[in-house]
Amino acid sequence: MENNLNEELANRSIELKQLAIMTPDDRIARIVWARIQNDLEHKDSFIYGIQYCISNIYFFIKTQIQDNDQTRSALNSCCHLVESLGWKTKTVFAEDSSKVVFIDYIKEVVALYTDTKQNHCEDAQCILAMNMIHMVMQDIEYVIQKRPAQEKRLLSALTTAATLRNQMLNIFGYQITETNTDSQP
């Protein structure tokens, strides 16, 4: 038991050192993302996780980002993604957890630190939304690998998710290059 405790403390120490050297927005996003993953593990449902991410992206864009052609296009992509995965938009968008994820969780983390400003919270929100779309894409790719018979139907969903990711990068003010789709402020 003592060895397990020592190992846990050593792992936590490494994690705290990593958090200490991060920028405030990255630190906030990392801590909140870990909490979101813990919440999803309690549900223990692959489908719930994908739907949770798409729904939160949808409501984050709808409620926190200024309405314009780009945001409306991204919202349409969210709907198209849900439909291409074979679900009803009414069902997936019935639960809006975006306030908890993008505001309440971030407020709780920010309360722990004195070096954060409003723009750090906004950047952390964008990082979280990007983490969610990447998780959706990885999950779709995983299902394609495990169920090749579903590939044709799921490739459309994967393409839509990639389109949504690019729209989000554009909305959040990140640059997309031809050869590299990593976000760069």
pLDDT for the residue 148 = 87
Residue 173, classed as helix, strand or coil, is coil
Largest CA distance in the chain: 58
Tokens read off for 45 = 């449902």
CA Rg, the chain, in Å?
18
Confidence (pLDDT) at 182: 44
pLDDT tens, residue by residue, 55-95: 999 999 999 999 999 999 999 999 999 999 999 999 999 98
Q: Which domains are present in the chain? A: 31-171 (1.20.1260)
Between 54 and 33, name the one with better pLDDT.
Answer: 54
Burial readout 141-170 (b: 16 or more C-beta within 10 A, e: otherwise): eebbeeeeeeeeebeebbebbeebbbbbbe
Instruction: Judge contact between 83 and 89, C-beta under 8 A.
Output: yes
- Enter the tokens of residue 78: 């969210």
Residue with more model confidence, 179 or 25: 25
Residue 183 has pLDDT above 50, yes or no: no
